[in-house]
Each structure stands twice: as C-alpha cells, then as structure tokens.
Amino acid sequence: MSKHPLLLPVTITVVLGIIFAAFRPSLPPAWGFFGHRKINHQAVFTLPPELIVFYKKHIDYVTEHAVDPDKRRYATLHEAPRHFMDLDRYGKAPFENLPRNWTDALMQHTAYFFINEKRDTLPLLLSPVMEKDSFVSINPKLFKDTATAVSRRDFRLFFINNIFQQYYEEQWVIEKDSLSKLLNFNKINCRNAFAVDEFSGHGIVPYHLDYMLRRLTDAFREKDVKKILRHSADIGHYIADAHVPLHTTQNYNGQLTGQDGIHAFWESRLPELFADENYDFWVGRAELIEKPQDYFWNIVLESHALVDSVLGIEMALRREFPADRQLCNEMRGNALVKVQCEEFAAAYSERLGGMVEARMQASIRAVGSAWYTAWVLAGQPDLRDVSSVPVAVQDSMDAELDKAVKSGEIKGREHEQ
C-alpha cells in the first residue's frame, strides 16, 4: 500500500473498481493438471546430453511443480494475467499497434488522471502516449489557461522512474513534484495525480515468458539448483498456456457465442479421453531460440489464429448433435458430473484434425527449447558438480500453496467457470 494519502475515498473506489472489473470469471487450469505435468515431463527428453542428465535427476520436480502457477492463482492477485492474453482486444492480427516491449505496452495502456482544485477527476493526457509524432499532449485544464506537451522519450523516462516501480502496489501515485518537473512548471493546478493499469488485467503471457526466460538464465548463471528447477517448472506452465487458442481471446470460454464450457472441453476433456492412446509425445530435439521475444509472440499469434476453428467447429457440432448426446453424466470420485459425451468429443477431436495433439507437441518442444536457450544464454555452465544437490519434490512453500488452494478462493481474474 502506498504511503501517500493522495486519493480521495471515492477515487480509490473507482480506481479499484476499474482494476477488479477487468478480471474475468475462471476456467479449468489450461491443459488440466495431467496436461501440464505431461508437457514438462516430456520436455526433459528433448534436451541435449549436457542438460538431460541434470533434468532427468530432477524430472519428478519439474513434473510435479508444473501446476504451481495455477495454485498461485489462489495466493496472489497478480498471477492470473500471466496465463493468457486477450489479443482480440487490440484489433486484428498481427496487432502491430501493440508494443512487444513490456514497458512500452504498459505505458501505452495506462490511464493517467489528476484531481483539480475543485476535486474534479480529469484525464492527464489528451492523446495516446505512443503517438508517432513522439509528443504527448497534456490536458490544458491541468494548468491555468496554459497547454503543453512533452516528448515521448521524456514521458517514457517519467513513467519508468515514477510509475513503473509501483507495479505491484494497489495505487499508482504520481508525485506532484515529479509531474511539475516533467512539465517544467513550478505551479500545477491539481491536488493529486494517479495512474491506473488498464493493461495487465487482460493478460500478459508473452511478456511474462520473456521475463521468466531471464529469470531462468540468471538461475543457470548462479548454478542455483532450486531456482533452476522452480523457474523451469514455471516457464513450462506459461509456455503450455500460451499454446492454448482460447487463452488468446476475450471469448475464452465461448461465453460470447453461447458455447460456455468449450475451454475445458478443448484443453482438458479431449486430452483426458484421447491422449494416452492416440497422442505422440516424442517431438524431437530442443532448439536454440535466437530471438526469444519474437518466438514467444509467434506462439500466441499461432494460437490465436486457431480460435475461429476451435469455436466454429464446436458450434457446428452442437447443431448436428441432439442435446442429450452432447453432455453425459459421469462419476468423478463420489460426485456425478456432466461432461461432454465421448461420441460428441470424438467427433470434435476428429474435425479439429489433430489440433490439440499438435499444440501439446509444440508446447513440449517449446518448453525444452526455452530451458536449453536459458542455459546457453547463461554461458552453458557445467552442472555436473551440482546435479546431485538434493532438492525435495515437496517443501514448506508447497504446503503454503496447497493451503491457499484449499481456501477455494481464487484471487484476481479467475480461471474457472
């Protein structure tokens, strides 16, 4: 919580309302726990000899902890957006107006406000931060009969130094002195100023993958076995999520087209029914990722290109199958639940033409490639002297996560409907 008592109670309520309204109802964990564990497990066998020895010794860890990010959704507000991105919110593919750089994207999609002496809340800017003319127009009502503009470069530095560092705070406060310095004015006609993140709540998975690759690289440089394994398991989860088409659209569960439940159908029910007998999980060797940022963006763009097929094929089948042959009762433990009938699921799987299997295969190859690339970027450290360092598959941190999960309350934008 910021120490600056700047925002009025009504303003705080509005700001928090904007933030929390962006978090969507939840879905089943992408790929289900089975899928995430399978992907991380198989990724080990894509690695070159120098790495496979290390990872095979700890294969139980990277397999079991593949589901940790889903568990963390119960523990922190900031976890959920790391799993998806609503790309169609930003126009049409390839979304050229959406910066691939995290700082620029966040800056462009942050709203900036000030509260004047009359306690009116007004926008600080009159134009987008990322205008091509490189100037940012400032609202003239901020001053006494004076309008002004600043260069994009100066505003970017202002954002980095004064706003970006508050990313994990509940309130993003803009200090009046820093604002005055930016605008080169001694007196500013405002009581308070603040910023609101209008970006993160709609998903940040490609940006987070870039960040996680750097963290894994640092762990390899330090030869910190626990960090290597933890970050390997985590990045594996996020890469797998990025391969799910419905993790790249606002219509993530078919809720906008009357197809509620399609998310779990595609990524959990189909693998559950057909993966063991029909899917081939041997995908060849991991490759060095030359341009990680482009690589991760290509993953989500490829996933997004499949959204229309995922939705359209299922919609056509709904019209063909009677309602009583679409959903069937099935025992799960001691509970009787409704799931897609096997005949209906088989028809969907067939018309998808192996799409689910292909995305799982691509996930496995991408996870292994990310692990391998981080190791190369770290200078290819010799891990033989640390390979045998004991790392418990379960520890106190796992107990805390499991406790949070048992609370049954997902924080932030949930994943399950």
Is there a single domain that holds both residue 126 and residue 55? no
CATH of the domain at 43: 1.10.575.10
**Residue 146 sits in which domain range?**
110-197
149 occurs within a structural domain: yes
78 occurs within a structural domain: yes
Q: What residues pair up with 195 in beta bridges, in sequence order?
A: 112, 172
Give the distance between the most distant pair of CA atoms in the chain.
Answer: 73
Is there a single domain that holds both residue 156 and residue 228? no
Domain limit, last residue, from 197, 218, 249: 197
Q: In this predicted model, what pLDDT tens digit does every residue of 202-258 receive, in sequence order?
A: 999 999 999 999 999 999 999 999 999 999 999 999 999 999 999 999 999 999 999
Domain limit, last residue, from 145, 171, 197: 197
Two tokens, residue 65? 């902890």
Is there a single domain that holds both residue 292 and residue 384? yes
Cite the DSSP H helix spans in 195-341: 205-222, 225-242, 262-264, 270-278, 292-304, 307-320
Is there a single domain that holds both residue 190 and residue 207? no
Domain limit, last residue, from 197, 223, 242: 197
Is there a single domain that holds both residue 274 and residue 386? yes
Is there a single domain that holds both residue 170 and residue 286? no
Contact predicate 296/352, CB 8 Å? no
Is there a single domain that holds both residue 380 and residue 312? yes
Is there a single domain that holds both residue 46 and residue 173? no
pLDDT tens across the length of the chain (417 residues): 333 333 333 333 333 333 333 344 444 455 668 889 999 999 999 999 999 999 999 999 999 999 999 999 887 888 999 999 999 999 999 999 999 999 999 999 999 998 888 888 989 888 777 666 678 888 877 766 555 788 888 999 999 999 999 999 989 999 988 888 888 776 677 788 999 999 999 999 999 999 999 999 999 999 999 999 999 999 999 999 999 999 999 999 999 999 999 999 999 999 999 998 999 999 999 999 999 999 999 999 999 999 999 999 999 999 999 999 999 998 888 888 899 999 999 999 999 999 999 999 999 999 999 999 999 999 999 999 888 787 888 775 666 666 656 666 666 545 443
Number of domains in the chain: 2
Is there a single domain that holds both residue 126 and residue 177? yes
Is the Cα dihedral 14, 165, 125, 115 positive or negative? positive
Closest CA to 39 of 183, 265, 242: 242
Closest CA to 213 of 232, 230, 237: 232
Two tokens, residue 116? 């004047």
Which DSSP state fits 29? P
416 occurs within a structural domain: no
Is there a single domain that holds both residue 342 and residue 378? yes
352 occurs within a structural domain: yes
Is there a single domain that holds both residue 217 and residue 306? yes
4 occurs within a structural domain: no
For residue 62, give Cα distances in angstroms to 57, 296, 351, 394: 10, 21, 33, 11
Is there a single domain that holds both residue 188 and residue 212? no
